[in-house]
Structure 1
């Protein structure tokens, strides 16, 4: 739920910051539901003002299970946010969007006693912020003091800054900070560093010999593959394994070079997975039939060439795997949206900033590179390793050793 926005929707996607509330901006005294309980943490207002001055959109995303538990009501949350907004404004700061989730499955208030995709670590509030503020979540940050904030960053494909003073091990890609002040230091430094803070740009200079270029290209490819989030791989592997074991259909699609990867996906995940396992998977590429592609494109529009095929062939419980270097291809995004709306599990292989595809998919395999060749080579490697993982998971150690992969 929202409690107001001061920034209009803009078509150009940009990085932003999603802030937890209690324990990040104000003291977490346990279910803060009254304005009298609001106490700002040292430096928090000034830190938000620095983001405002830099033109960085700021959204607050907070779980408010106190509503579901009957500790306070929706209007109380709105009043707290109104009070906080006034305090921020008095010191030259503002929040562009206030979002909160009042639901909890263990609540006692019937209207709010349920699960919700908006409740962190679910991605709902991040996706709502991205839509309202035109954010590119792949280049944005989530700042919070709990594991559910880190989970939100993972679910949204954003960067996580965890306010934590323990010595516990951190998950890959998570950075620990002592407070919001330090988190904003990192955000502004990363923004000042430009493209180097996000996906890697290659090449950036002229190379005199093919051998020199090959060396640097190989280094960039190795870096890109090594940087793929293992959580995305693990989630995709689980989705595909479950689908193949339960005889669900798996559809793939992509454009250009990504279409060839989608087609190759069908080969390796149908014929390859079956070798030595006897598993008869059902995999189909939506990019391979020029007759149906051209008929749909000519008569209806290229934006629906994949969605239209899914409408005829897909069923709830099936899987869609999209391959898109930019993550922005309209036909790929529309296919993902249709799949989500009709009960399909989704996997997205993306590059560059990831675009909407990275945000929409259940499993995001994102390659942190701005080079099409590197992104596509990495996607091909991920396609292969997923097929080989599923195949070997059905074999004994002896069988694996006896097979050629």
Structure 2
């Protein structure tokens, strides 16, 4: 290793560890379900995005096996050469119907969606108004586009309106986009979709909603935009296939013209091998389940409401979440890391989230109850939370 690289790595790794900002990666010994096994210990899992428990569903497994037998384990090429199979186009049609749009395009990940879709439409001649708490993939996608990035106060429609007016009056930009998460993953609050639609129509803004944590959770599963009845009013609906749907990948839903453009200009789509046939089949099975049976969706919300209410009763600061995402806000980074470690030692796997994922001084342990958790699991987790909270002086 070069001396310069060795010095850079050792210095900066030591600094992260001293500040409580270094994240240890744990290895699961088995499936990512409501309980997980790490280093031989079984823990109640409150850190998964597997909202509906579908990642371990026997029906999805069967669909994946059947597709593998028919198509093989990989598509063998990028979508634009000969990697597009009928199973990919079938998935895109199902997603478009599910989201209430004309068409959809599937990417290999949600991160790829934001990297590819934003930069396929926005250029250095444009401006992007971006909520200040947007996900890292949105931030990186905006940077990659070369457009002027204008931060908008979180969920502040008046600030959005004023900054949109300023950008238009400047005459510097050909197009202006507003982009926001649908559900904000660190706080669990929900985007003001009606307000966004109103301002975007008024100011002729391109609208883009990243609904990674809303798909499968809001709108009876169809997402935050559908929840508010604005499927026809938002230009880009982005979502993932790796959270509530339980598999892997991402998608953008919108007009046929938009999807046709992304298929010839979104670089991750053009230069990455297709989603595996097994993944495509499993995703379609997940969508079928969500369309035909709302019981998993209802159980997710029941568990989320219970956990939130009980943590609040214990005296924890759970912020202003409007969804099953339940942060326990600790504040100082080192204490947050210690709190998470003690939870894990006692039997609850709830990982700490610290800077730069959240602003400095707002460290938290983020809890993700799922439809697969039993009431008994959540009650045991709450007993451990109370014990650790009192031990560390958090409550």
TM-score of the aligned structures, taking structure 2 as reference length: 0.29
Structure of larger gyration radius? 1
TM-score of the aligned structures, taking structure 1 as reference length: 0.28
Q: Which has the higher contact order (CA 8 A, sep 6+)?
A: 2
